[in-house]
Chain A
Amino acid sequence: MTDILNAIVLLLNFVFLPGLSYGSQLALGALAVTLVYAILRFANFAQGDTMALSTVMTILLTWLLQHFGITLGFMPTALLALPLAIIGCLIYIMLVDTFVYRYYRRQKSKPITIVMASVGVMFVTGGIVRFVLGPDHHIFADGERFIITAREFKAMTGLAEGLAIKTSQFLTITIAILLVGFVFYFLQRTKTGKAMRAYADNEDLALLSGIEPHNIVRVTWILVAILTTIAGVLYGLDKGFMATSYHQLLLPTFAAVIVGGIGSPPGAIIGGFVISFSELILTYAYKKFFIYLLPEILQPDSLLQFLGTEYKFAVSFVILVIVLLLRPTGIFKGKVI
Chain B
Amino acid sequence: MSRYTIRVGVTFGTMLLLLLTVGFGQSWSVCLSILNLCLISAIMAMGVNIQWGYAGLFNVGIMGFTALGGLSVVLISKDSVQEAVNAGGMKMLMALIIFSLSIVLSHYFYKRFKSKWMVSATLLAGYIITRYFYLDAAQSIEAINPAFSGYLGGLGLPVLLSWITGGLFAAAAAWLIGKISLGLRTDYLAIATLGISEIIIAIIKNEDWLSRGVKNITAIPRPVPYEIDLQQVDWFKEMVATVYAGRLDLLPVSEQASALTAYASDASIVLVKLCYSGLFIAVLLLIIFLASLALDSPWGRMIRAIRDNEIAASAMGKNVTKRHLQIFVIGSAIAGVSGAMLVTYNGQFTPGSYIPLRYTFLIWVMVIVGGSGNNLGSVVGGFLIWFLWIEAEPFGFWLADVSTSFLDKENSIRQHLLNNAQYIRLIFMGAVLLVVMRFSPDGILPETNKKL
Which residues of A approach B to under 8 Å, CB–CB?
Answer: 42-43, 45, 99-100, 103, 110-113, 115-117, 119-124, 126-128, 130-132, 134, 248, 250-251, 254-255, 258, 262, 302, 306, 308, 310-311, 313-314, 316-317, 320-321, 324-326, 328
Shortest distance between the CB of B208 and any CB in chain A (Å): 12
Chain B interface (Cβ < 8 Å from any Cβ of A): 56, 58, 60, 116, 127, 131, 135, 180-181, 184-188, 190-192, 194-196, 198-199, 202, 205-206, 357, 361, 364, 416-417, 419-421, 423-431, 433-434, 437-438
Tell me if B180 and A325 are in contact (CB < 8 A): yes
Inter-subunit contact A100/B194 (CB<8 Å): no
Say which residue of B187, B194, B206, B434 sits within 8 Å of A251 (CB atoms): B194
Which single member of B181, B194, B426 contacts A123 (CB below 8 Å)? Answer: B426
B187: which of A115, A120, A126, A314 is its contact (CB, 8 Å)?
A115
Contact between chains at B195 and A116 (CB < 8 Å): no
The contact of A320 among B186, B191, B425, B433, by CB within 8 Å, is: B191
The answer to whether A328 and B184 touch (CB under 8 A), given A130-B420, A132-B420, is yes
Chain A residue nearest to B432 in the complex (CB): A120
User: Which residues from A are CB-within-8-Å of B195?
Assistant: 251, 255, 313, 316-317, 320
Which residue among B116, B199, B421 has the maximum number of chain A CB atoms within 10 Å of its CB?
B199
Q: List 12 A-B contacts (CB under 8 A).
A: A100-B434, A127-B427, A128-B427, A131-B423, A132-B420, A134-B419, A250-B194, A251-B198, A258-B191, A302-B135, A317-B192, A325-B180
Per the bound structure, the CA–CA distance linking A112 and B427 in Å amounts to 22
A to B contact number (C-beta, < 8 Å): 126
CA distance A174 to B357 in the complex (A): 37
With A112-B58, A131-B427, A310-B202 known as contacts, the answer to whether A124 contacts B187 (CB < 8 A) is no
Q: Is there contact, CB below 8 Å, between B434 and A120?
A: yes
Given contacts A115-B187, A131-B424, 9 further A-B contacts (CB under 8 A): A43-B191, A112-B58, A117-B437, A121-B430, A251-B198, A258-B188, A302-B135, A308-B206, A320-B191
Do A123 and B438 have beta carbons less than 8 Å apart?
no
Task: Choose among B198, B361, B430 the residue that contacts A248 (Cβ–Cβ < 8 A).
Answer: B198
CB pair B206–A116 under 8 Å, yes or no, is: no
Q: Would A317 and B420 count as touching, CB distance under 8 A?
A: no
Q: Which residues of A contact B188 (CB under 8 A)?
A: 258, 324, 328
B134 smallest CB distance to A (angstroms): 11
Among A103, A124, A258, A262, point to the contact of B438 (Cβ < 8 A). A103
The contact of B190 among A43, A126, A132, A134, by CB within 8 Å, is A43
- Knowing A112-B190, A313-B195, the reply to whether A127 touches B60 (Cβ < 8 A) is no
Q: Which 9 A-B pairs have the closest CB atoms?
A: A127-B426, A127-B427, A124-B430, A123-B430, A317-B195, A130-B423, A43-B187, A120-B434, A120-B433
B360 nearest in chain A by CB position: A119
Out of B185, B427, B428, name the residue touching A262 (CB < 8 Å): B185
- Is the CB–CB distance between B187 and A42 below 8 Å? yes
Interchain nearest-CB distance for A327 vs B (Å) = 11
Q: Which residue of A lies closest to B176 (CB)?
A: A321
Note all chain B residues with C-beta closer than 8 A to A112: 56, 58, 186-187, 190
A60 to chain B, nearest CB (A): 12
Q: Which residue of B lies closest to A251 (CB)?
A: B195
Contacts of B186 in A (CB 8 A): 110-112, 115
Q: List the A residue with the shortest CB-CB distance to B419.
A: A134
Tell me the complex Cα distance, A306–B190, Å.
Answer: 28
The complex places the Cα of A262 from the Cα of B188 at a distance, in Å, of 11
Q: How far is the CA of A96 from the CA of B429 in the complex (A)?
A: 16
Inter-chain contact A311/B190, CB cutoff 8 Å: no
A313 partner residues in chain B, CB cutoff 8 A:
195, 198-199, 202
State which of B56, B428, B434, B437 has its C-beta within 8 Å of the C-beta of A110: B56
Query: Which of chain A's residues has its CB closest to B206's CB?
Result: A310
Residues of A within 8 A of B131 (CB): 306
Pick the contact of A314: B185, B202, B419, B431 (CB < 8 A).
B202
Bound CA–CA A142/B191 (angstroms): 36
Chain A residues lying within 8 Å of B135, measured Cβ to Cβ, are 302
Query: CA A113 – CA B431 in complex, angstroms?
Result: 16
Interface centre among A123, A134, A302, A328 (most CB of B within 10 A): A123
Across-interface contacts of A111 in B (CB, < 8 A): 186-187
What A residues does B417 contact at CB under 8 A?
131
When distances are taken between beta carbons in the complex, the residues of chain A under 8 Å from B438 are: 100, 103
Query: Using Cβ atoms and an 8 Å threshold, which residues of chain A touch B194?
Result: 45, 250-251, 254
Bound complex: CA A112 to CA B53 (Å): 13
Q: Which residue of A lies closest to B362 (CB)?
A: A123
Contact present for A124 and B184 (CB under 8 Å): no
- Which has the most chain B C-beta neighbours within 10 Å: A42, A112, A121, A320? A112
Q: In the bound complex, do residue A115 and residue B430 qualify as a contact, i.e. CB atoms below 8 Å apart?
A: no
Interchain CA distance A136-B135 in the complex, whole Å: 32
**Contact residues in A for B181 (Cβ distance below 8 Å):** 324
Judging by beta carbons under 8 Å apart, are B56 and A124 in contact?
no
B58 contacts A254, CB within 8 Å? Answer: no
Q: Bound complex: CA of A113 vs CA of B434, how far in Å?
A: 11
B199 and A116 contact, CB distance less than 8 A = no
Tell me the minimal C-beta distance from A320 to chain B in angstroms: 6
Distance of A188 from chain B, by nearest CB (Å): 26
Chain B residues lying within 8 Å of A325, measured Cβ to Cβ, are 180
Cα distance A117–B429 when bound, in Å? Answer: 13
Bound Cα distance from A126 to B196, whole angstroms: 21
Measured in the bound complex, the distance between the Cα atoms of B419 and A328 in whole Å is: 45
CB pair A314 B199 closer than 8 Å: yes
- Inter-subunit contact A131/B420 (CB<8 Å): yes
Question: What residue of chain B has the Cβ atom nearest to residue A247's Cβ?
Answer: B356
> Which of A45, A121, A316, A326 gathers most chain B CB within 10 Å?
A45
Residues in B with CB closer than 8 Å to A126 are 426
Q: Is the CB of A116 within 8 A of B361?
A: no
Inter-subunit contact B199/A124 (CB<8 Å): no
Do residues A127 and B191 form an inter-chain contact, with CB atoms below 8 A?
Answer: no
Which residues from chain B contact A258 at a C-beta distance below 8 Å?
188, 191
In the docked arrangement, what's the CA distance between A99 and B439, Å? Answer: 12
CB nearest to B361 among chain A residues = A123
Cα–Cα distance between A116 and B321 once the two chains are bound (Å): 21
CB of B107, distance to nearest CB on chain A (Å)? 12
Q: B423, B425, B429, B431 — which one has the most chain A CB atoms within 10 A of its CB?
A: B423
- The CA of A131 and the CA of B437, in the complex, are separated in Å by 24
Nearest chain B CB to A307 CB, angstrom units: 9
For B206, the chain A residues whose CB sits under 8 A away are 308, 310-311
* Assembled-state Cα–Cα distance A254/B187 (Å): 11
Q: Least Cβ distance of B58 to chain A in Å?
A: 5
Interfacial chain B residues near A113, Cβ < 8 Å: 437
Most buried by A among B198, B357, B361, B421: B198
Query: Whole-angstrom distance between the alpha carbons of A41 and B416 in the complex?
Result: 39
